[in-house]
Amino acid sequence: MQSYSFFMPTRVIHGERELVNQAGLLKQLGNRCLLVTGRTSARVSGALDDAVEALTSQGIDYELFDQVENNPSLENVDAGGEAARRYKPDFILGIGGGSPLDASKAIAVLAVNDMEPEELYRNEFANQPLPIAAIPTTAGTGSEVTPYSVLTDPAAETKRSFSVPEVFPKIAFLDWRYTAKLPVTITRDTALDALSHLVEGYLSRRATGTSDIFAQQGIELWAECLKSLQEGAFAPEDRDRLLVASALGGITIAHTGTTLVHALGYSLTYYHDLPHGRANGLLMGEYLRYNAEYVPQRVANVLAWLGFEDVEEFAQVMGELAGPMVELSSEQIKDYAAKAAATRNAAYSQGEATEEVLQRMLGDA
Ligand code: NAP
Ligand code: FE
């Protein structure tokens, strides 16, 4: 009999304008707030305006750190940590895609700990991180309901995550309106990230009876948006479904972790500047083909939930949504496969994710 635990400490609030309607919840986190955002997305999405209205209605003081980069680096979050140490907030309100939300988690730690940003990866901190509220403006990472913060580490030439249960956001506000203005390409890329979390979580060695329920529900919701993703036109219902599917993916990987798609995808982002979700999407077809050897029933379930006949059809649609694969030299393929094989993510995959297996996945993708 499998033993496992289920832990999801984030209060998830779903609905339009609930950030403003339920602003009293923010007051429970304190009287001073550092808003952490990217350069434009929080403003463009309308979420920053709602956040300011919510904070003001509760008499909460705030300051804005709006310098988070895509795929934030250790140096970038260190600058946010410094802003936080100066302002001394009681809590962090992160608004944006996965980049600002992950940066919020790092800043919540650095705000109250005198340490080098590299030390985040130790996952042990003298002082508990500040509480975090999170507002996603993309539908992909599920970072609003995970304890992970993925940061770019130039010394290791890759992206690595730190994770402690205390950086699970205390509250996540899911409001599809904040994703309404996402360009089609970012919508597709981030939707591929959400799907990769759901599928990798379902096919992970660490999948549990409980995580499976979230993965299945998320994959079925995602499937309802497939036509819109292919056509590039999104009704509010599609935006909402994608946002919920993304959060279900986050809840799934909070328990299972990700597997070899993410392990390999990090190199495509680090060395070739591919957006995170697109990098995953490019690898998904081969990944499902690989898993069919080890867990054929699970792969058949994924295909059935998505409404696909077989792995070939799945691979073709992933290719359509992600676009062309980057050209890789044989040196690069060897290097990225070796890096990925050494990760924990690879160890959570079915079968044996050896360097040869990973090379094939990159070469044939
Ligand atoms: P992102 O890097 O946060 O944002 C990508 C782009 O989309 C940025 O240019 C951003 O603008 C823009 N954008 C965001 N919301 C927008 C909106 N509503 N309207 C218009 N533009 C908008 O992308 P992401 O895919 O959401 O996050 C990727 C990061 O999350 C990666 O670092 C990845 O490794 C990480 N991740 C974390 C987890 C986890 O569990 N924590 C899981 C998977 C991935 P701005 O620059 O202005 O913000
Ligand atoms: Fe991801």
Quote the pLDDT of residue 363: 85
- Residue ID of nearest Cα to ligand 1 atom 30: 98
Quote the pLDDT of residue 23: 98
Quote the pLDDT of residue 68: 98
pTM given for the model: 0.98
Beta bridge partners of 61: 32
Give the type of residue at 158: T
Q: Which of 43, 64, 99, 248 to mutate to test the pocket of ligand 1 (most atoms within 8 A of CB)?
A: 99
Cβ–Cβ < 8 Å for 350, 294: yes
Q: Which residues line ligand 1 (CB under 6 A)?
A: 38-41, 44-45, 70-71, 96-100, 102, 137-138, 140-143, 146, 148-150, 159, 178-179, 181-182, 186, 190, 193, 276-277
- Which token pair is 205? 């060695």
- Which token pair is 1? 């009999």
- Which token pair is 361? 């996945």
| DSSP letter for each residue of 8-72 | ---EEEESTTHHHHTTHHHHTT-SEEEEEEESSHHHHTSHHHHHHHHHHHTT-EEEEEEEEPSS-
CA of 70 to the centre of ligand 1 (A): 6
- For the chain, residues with pLDDT lower than 70 are 364-365
Helix axes 311-322, 184-203, angle to 10 degrees: 150
H and E: helices and strands count for the chain: 17, 8
Among the atoms of ligand 1, which is closest to the Cα of residue 275? 25
pLDDT tens digits along 223-262: 999 999 999 999 999 999 999 999 999 999 999 999 999 9
Q: How many CB atoms lie within 10 A of CB 122?
A: 10
Alpha carbon distance 288, 116 (integer Å): 39
Q: Phi/psi at 133 (nearest 5 deg)?
A: -115, 145
Cβ–Cβ < 8 Å for 258, 153: no
| Residues by chain with Cβ below 5 Å of ion ligand 2 | 193
